[in-house]
Structure 1
Amino acid sequence: MVINIAGEAIQRDGGQGADDILKRLKKVNALALKSAEGYLFDISSLAELAGVKDAAEFTAVTIDSPEGLAICRHSVSHIMAHVVKDLYPAAKVTIGPSTEDGFYYDFDIDTPFTPDDLSAIEKAMQRLIKKNNPFVRKTMSKADAIKLFQAMGEGYKVEIIEAIEADEVSLYEEGGFIDLCRGPHVPGTASVRAFKLLKTAGAYWRGDEKNKMLQRIYGTAFATQEDLKRHLEFLEEVKRRDHRRLGKELDLFSIHDDIGAGLILWHPSGAMIRKTIEDFWREEHIKADYKLLYTPHIAKIDLWKKSGHLDFYKENMYTPMDIDGADYEIKPMNCPFHIAIYKSALRSYRDLPIKYAELGTVYRYERSGVLHGLLRVRGFTQDDAHIFCRIDQIESEILDVLDFTLFVLRTFGFEKYDVYLSTRPDKYVGTLDNWEVATEALRKALQKKGLKYETDPGEGVFYGPKIDIKVKDSLNRQWQCSTIQVDFNLPERFDVTYRASDDKEHMPIMIHRALMGSLERFFGILIEHYGGAFPLWLAPVQVSVLTISERQAEFAKETAAALMKANIRVETDYGDEKIGYKIRQSSLKKIPYAVLIGDKEMESRSLTVRKRNGENVVFADMNNLLDFLREEIEGRR
């Protein structure tokens, strides 16, 4: 058996050299071993592995690797469960996995955890970690494990074990605390270097709202205190940029229980930003030869049966309503309406491609537990479009859509993104030839654009392959926004055709595409991306006009009128408060520019402008200021 430790390959002959290897593993703070096939093992499995895998190769896994960090975090979740059981013996343990940036554990406990509880749990965990209790793996028959956890009163563990198909399960013991787990774990609790408990939340058992509500504790762990500090600072910045907090502070939107969860009210400032986004969207789509549509919010239920939505999306659709003896359904998507408009006239191959676009509001049922501000809602407006084209036009249309998508994303300030190509799943409709042509067209378009992409095998939708573009915001977080999907299913279901050059009817290909996704979600992402400090072209109020005293009120009114005449969005304050207070209020509203008017400006008719960053700039007159503002607005900066 060969073990690679810190780049050095060490040969172990049978049972010899175990102590030396363990010392070397301890020296590099190894947490586990990784096989050439990618399987992870506890370091304590060394002797066992040597006996059955003499020719195998293993690599030492350290905490500064993704696998090592995940192992550490999972071990910390066990340590936390151990402490919770010590402090709250009546609590029942359920599951406690590691996550992308931390860990959590769910507990069945009558009283929700408080911040003081978290502090007490964290201190107890620190004491336990210092003891360096080893994590010891044990195997047990399924039947014996059920008896063990039944005797412990841990019914959730019994339920988990009963669902396991294997005859044998693995358990881990640490300091007398036993938990069901596949592992691996760190060698001992002292391997944990830096951790923090973050918050609590409610969570349904198995994610099903029909089950009991559990209490979840979230935490995180890192290789070093420095890494932990950076992550906590990042979380503070995320909190500062939270669109729900900023939405309230800047009076952008609200959600009201008496109206309904997941239903957004756009306030004047938020509505002004939305109007600006929509105006840009419509202008650019008209330039790109899209035809704009408006479609109803409901349709007869037979339409959704024909489209397949009633089969594939029924759980996300609302209860039908009876109108004049017929069942109608509120729309979850816009596609069938666009198809109906396409079919309202005979189409020739010369007409294709036909490109329809709509800012269409749709409604989907989302469980209350997943609703999240603007990011997960029940009523939202898609920037939806459908392109009907011949199969030989797919590649060129995809190229155009990619150009359009990247232009739109960059206009809104998103310069970084990841691209994914999702291919045919196991269950699909259409012919293999069509799938191959469509997938290759998507691939070639990405290659021609020079876009780096990852392939997601089998992750296409049932009706065709797709491209997903996930933007990265100013905090380098990834957000799914743009999608381009090729569809063979709906044209076939609705018998969509065009007259080809051979004078026969052929089925067009339908391309679904969204550049921003939903306006609600995109707006939430924008709020967090900019931290509420929108660029001038998007800002709901672009300039505030502030007087130093009431003497300048008339000149200030004249200034504001000139700005408004030039279509600049203006807010004014001519009151008798001190100028420092007025500037502060303008700053809190994150208004890009404030025109400060005192006696000097009134006499010279010059304009002192304070930028959002606190810098003052003097403009000789209104024309100079307007030229400056127009250049920035037209450049969408």
Structure 2
Amino acid sequence: MMSEVVSNPNNSVSLTLPDGSQKIFPKGNTLVEVTKSMGKAVFDSAIAAELNGEAVDLSAELSTDARLNIITLHDKEAFGIIRRSCALILGQAVKELFPNAQRVEAGINDYGFYYDFFSSVPFTTADLVRIEQRMTQLVAHETPLLTERVEYDEAVSWFEAQNEPYKVHFLEQTGSHGQVTLWHHQDGVDIFPGPPVPNTRFLRNFKLLSVAGAYWQGDASKEQLQRIHVTAWATPRQLTGWLESRAVAEQRDHRKLGRDLDLFHFQDDAPGAVFWHPHGWTLFQRLIRYMRQRHDDAGYVEVNTPDVMDRSLWEISGHWENYRDNMFTTQTEDGRTLALKPMNCPGAVALFNHGIKSYRDLPIRMSEFGKVHRYEPSGSLHGLLRVRHFTQDDAHIFCTGQQVEAECRDILKLVLDIYRQFGFTDVAIKLSTRPEKRIGSDEEWDRLEQALESSLTAEALTWSINPGEGAFYGPKLEFVLRDAIGRDWQCGTLQVDMNLPARFDMRYVAEDGTMQRPVMLHRALFGSLERFTGILLEHYAGKLPAWLSPVQAVVMTISEPQTFYAQQIVAELRKRGIRCDCDLRNEKMGLKIREMTLARVPYMLIVGGKEAVQGRVTVRDRNGESIGTLLIGEALDLLASRCQIPSQPAKAR
């Protein structure tokens, strides 16, 4: 039922609350008075408000009737306000301790924020301790944060006088020479969007995390800045919880595991490129072998396309116009411009266009483990999770319009089953729909979006909608995996493409003899195999499933006389296809077991004099569980069954 509008005198304003109720206040009152009228709990936790959907600080005066929403510490909108306000305090502390440092810009993220500074002398870990101590002192005084509207020229003059050229540059880049909103805390002045918290008492729950180099505007040709990372939260419990989760995540960090397990490394003379060690390459190839098997079972054909192709191909595809800055290119002596491929799609199109295709040939499902190359900014590189050269498990399906829904259903079943095989049972699906700028008619978009929705419904799946987040050439599905410690990873995608078939004039002979354009589906499951490997390592904390582990078993001797017997067992294990090593060192068994446990080897086979005489072996796993002393044949059968690559669809758990 619509709430009845309350009449109010000319010197009053009517505020409509989210529940539809209305309150009358005198004109000129601030939102502080409004929060006081709502009770102590609201007053104590209110940090900002929304008037007619616009975020304002609590010092805002009431002038007209409006819809009001009070933002408290308990609202998700509070995090951004708290983090920007904390960035103001960080900037103030840095300027007090390092007067020659220049503030550049801050960025908000899911756990806090970062702030970039230019400093001729890099900040040290000891400097971070001093900065955090000064910030703690500043917020402890429970002083107000204020905003002020000033003329553009006045703001520029103030920052020029304070030797803040980056702030002046920011003002110049805004393109507006009207009024500017400045944030104030004591002598600290900065520029941020939206409102600050009213008082520093809301800013106690923060911690400085690290400092690292970052190029200005992500451009390696520009000056290097000092980026300070900070976590900031609304309550002490949130801060403590995040720090504990971070400690767990650090132990699972794939870069640490990569070193500990001798899987891979990176080096400065090949930035963003992986050097795979034997054990890491074994893991990588297991992933490819598994996916090849699933593709074969699902009716895909594997192809391979060139790494280097002429500029003309990328101009037709649109990559040259829209992605040129992220491509690696070279000029040859004969005047041609060639590019390392950033994506596999144009190569798949070239394969489809080679020769005449009939409706009888469709659908054509092409898979490719293609190496792609993208120039990612140096500051964004992050182990296996963000590299410049990586392998995609791409698949491109070419089908008729009538086949789209059935193909999407098959892809959904395949994708979700494979994720289950890897232990990811909590998968969120997001449907990204038509953006404002797009190609194709509304009728085509209706048909393709409906095909994706129908395939989701037919598989009894739940999904959320990302309105307007589809590609300009078609809608898409995104698959977000939740790992063992609750982090979300966006991995797989399924995209419907109307762009490339038109750009490359793709056609097939329809049943009536006419030439028709196929629909192109782009499907990636791992996305980047390098990134998925990093996610797997962190998800399992290095304890990969036995079928994926680079070394699946180690045979260990108690003393030297069992050497020959141990070598016989290793030979039999390898005949069964089990990847195994032999530890014949003259060391205590406890030390050997501990080392193999730290190496995350799934199974340890222990042989002593008694086992050698009886033709047995004692088997234990990396979790410390004793499987028992088994006859050699029993042990071989057990390990062969537990270490084989999955071949059947996973059962939902």
Q: Are the equivalent residues in 1 in contact too, given 2:429–2:463 (CA < 8 A)?
A: yes
Pair 1:245-2:256 in alignment: yes
- Whichever residue aligns with residue 296 of structure 1, its letter is P
Aligned length: 631
Residues 441-473 of structure 1, C-alpha deviations (whole Å, 9 max, x = no match): 112112222222222222222222211112122
Which among 284, 293, 298 is matched to residue 283 of structure 1? Answer: 293
Alignment of 1:380-399 (within 5 A): 380-399=390-409
Pair 1:432-2:479 in alignment: no
Residues 314-373 of structure 1, C-alpha deviations (whole Å, 9 max, x = no match): 112222342666443322222232223223332221221111111111222222222222
Mapped partners of 1:395, 1:608: distance in 2: 53
Mapped partners of 1:623, 1:7: distance in 2: 75
Which among 257, 271, 275 is matched to residue 261 of structure 1? Answer: 271
Mapped partners of 1:2, 1:394: distance in 2: 51
- Could you tell me which residue of structure 1 aligns to residue 205 of structure 2? 194
Mapped partners of 1:124, 1:566: distance in 2: 64
When the two chains are superposed, the root-mean-square deviation of aligned CA atoms in Å is 2.4
- Whichever residue aligns with residue 22 of structure 1, its letter is K
Mapped partners of 2:479, 2:583: distance in 1: 43
Mapped partners of 2:145, 2:326: distance in 1: 44
Q: Are the equivalent residues in 1 in contact too, given 2:602–2:622 (CA < 8 A)?
A: yes
TM-superposed deviation, 1:483: 1.0
- Could you tell me which residue of structure 2 aligns to residue 185 of structure 1? 196
Mapped partners of 1:402, 1:353: distance in 2: 16
TM-superposed deviation, 1:4: 6.1
Q: Secondary structure at the match of 1:540?
A: coil
- Whichever residue aligns with residue 34 of structure 1, its letter is A
Q: Secondary structure at the match of 1:350?
A: helix
Q: Are the equivalent residues in 1 in contact too, given 2:369–2:393 (CA < 8 A)?
A: yes
TM-superposed deviation, 1:218: 1.1
Residues 562-610 of structure 1, C-alpha deviations (whole Å, 9 max, x = no match): 2111111101111111111111211121101111222332233332222
Alignment of 1:621-632 (within 5 A): 621-632=631-642
Pair 1:451-2:461 in alignment: yes
Mapped partners of 1:178, 1:24: distance in 2: 32
- Could you tell me which residue of structure 1 aligns to residue 58 of structure 2? 43
- Could you tell me which residue of structure 1 aligns to residue 577 of structure 2? 567
Is the alpha carbon distance of 1:81 and 1:436 closer, same or farther for their aligned partners in structure 2, counting shifts above 3 Å? same
Mapped partners of 2:94, 2:21: distance in 1: 41
Is the alpha carbon distance of 1:191 and 1:304 closer, same or farther for their aligned partners in structure 2, counting shifts above 3 Å? closer
Mapped partners of 1:4, 1:192: distance in 2: 27
Which among 525, 547, 555 is matched to residue 565 of structure 2? Answer: 555
Which among 3, 25, 28 is matched to residue 12 of structure 1? Answer: 25
Q: Are the equivalent residues in 2 in contact too, given 1:91–1:108 (CA < 8 A)?
A: yes
- Could you tell me which residue of structure 1 aligns to residue 429 of structure 2? 419
Mapped partners of 2:435, 2:388: distance in 1: 28
Pair 1:173-2:184 in alignment: yes
Residues 511-561 of structure 1, C-alpha deviations (whole Å, 9 max, x = no match): 111111121111111111111111101000011111111122222122222
- Could you tell me which residue of structure 2 aligns to residue 232 of structure 1? 243
Is the alpha carbon distance of 1:306 and 1:190 closer, same or farther for their aligned partners in structure 2, counting shifts above 3 Å? closer
Mapped partners of 1:95, 1:16: distance in 2: 34
Mapped partners of 2:314, 2:227: distance in 1: 39
TM-superposed deviation, 1:112: 1.2
Q: Are the equivalent residues in 2 in contact too, given 1:606–1:618 (CA < 8 A)?
A: no
Mapped partners of 1:325, 1:235: distance in 2: 52
Is the alpha carbon distance of 1:193 and 1:24 closer, same or farther for their aligned partners in structure 2, counting shifts above 3 Å? farther
- Could you tell me which residue of structure 2 aligns to residue 544 of structure 1? 554
Q: Are the equivalent residues in 1 in contact too, given 2:147–2:184 (CA < 8 A)?
A: yes
TM-superposed deviation, 1:15: 5.6
Mapped partners of 1:560, 1:390: distance in 2: 53
Mapped partners of 2:391, 2:107: distance in 1: 35
Q: Secondary structure at the match of 1:320?
A: strand
Q: Are the equivalent residues in 2 in contact too, given 1:5–1:24 (CA < 8 A)?
A: no
Q: Are the equivalent residues in 1 in contact too, given 2:313–2:346 (CA < 8 A)?
A: yes
Alignment of 1:593-604 (within 5 A): 593-604=603-614
- Could you tell me which residue of structure 2 aligns to residue 299 of structure 1? 309
Is the alpha carbon distance of 1:175 and 1:482 closer, same or farther for their aligned partners in structure 2, counting shifts above 3 Å? same
Give the TM-score taking structure 2 as reference length.
0.91
Unaligned runs of 5+ in 1: none
| Identity among equivalent pairs (%) | 41
Residues 479-513 of structure 1, C-alpha deviations (whole Å, 9 max, x = no match): 22111111122222222211112111111111111
- Whichever residue aligns with residue 617 of structure 1, its letter is I
TM-superposed deviation, 1:304: 2.3
Unaligned runs of 5+ in 2: 1-13
Bigger shift: residues 173-182 or 530-539: 173-182
- Could you tell me which residue of structure 1 aligns to residue 3 of structure 2? none
Q: Are the equivalent residues in 2 in contact too, given 1:539–1:592 (CA < 8 A)?
A: yes
Q: Are the equivalent residues in 1 in contact too, given 2:48–2:196 (CA < 8 A)?
A: no
Which among 366, 369, 376 is matched to residue 379 of structure 2? Answer: 369
Q: Are the equivalent residues in 1 in contact too, given 2:218–2:377 (CA < 8 A)?
A: no
Which among 117, 127, 135 is matched to residue 125 of structure 1? Answer: 135
Which among 461, 471, 475 is matched to residue 481 of structure 2? Answer: 471
Mapped partners of 1:619, 1:9: distance in 2: 77
Q: Are the equivalent residues in 2 in contact too, given 1:374–1:524 (CA < 8 A)?
A: yes
Bigger shift: residues 80-89 or 30-39: 30-39
Q: Secondary structure at the match of 2:87?
A: helix
Bigger shift: residues 423-432 or 345-354: 423-432
TM-superposed deviation, 1:27: 4.3
Which among 217, 223, 229 is matched to residue 234 of structure 2? Answer: 223
- Could you tell me which residue of structure 2 aligns to residue 322 of structure 1? 332
Q: Are the equivalent residues in 2 in contact too, given 1:78–1:96 (CA < 8 A)?
A: no
Mapped partners of 2:56, 2:39: distance in 1: 13
TM-superposed deviation, 1:635: 7.4
Q: Are the equivalent residues in 2 in contact too, given 1:609–1:618 (CA < 8 A)?
A: yes
- Could you tell me which residue of structure 2 aligns to residue 22 of structure 1? 36
- Whichever residue aligns with residue 435 of structure 1, its letter is W
- Whichever residue aligns with residue 140 of structure 1, its letter is V
- Whichever residue aligns with residue 259 of structure 2, its letter is K
- Could you tell me which residue of structure 2 aligns to residue 481 of structure 1? 491
- Whichever residue aligns with residue 326 of structure 2, its letter is N
- Whichever residue aligns with residue 548 of structure 1, its letter is I
Give the TM-score taking structure 1 as reference length.
0.93
- Whichever residue aligns with residue 237 of structure 1, its letter is V
- Whichever residue aligns with residue 265 of structure 2, its letter is S
Residues 383-435 of structure 1, C-alpha deviations (whole Å, 9 max, x = no match): 11111100111111111111111112111121112222122223333333322
Q: Are the equivalent residues in 2 in contact too, given 1:541–1:569 (CA < 8 A)?
A: yes
Is the alpha carbon distance of 1:354 and 1:185 closer, same or farther for their aligned partners in structure 2, counting shifts above 3 Å? same
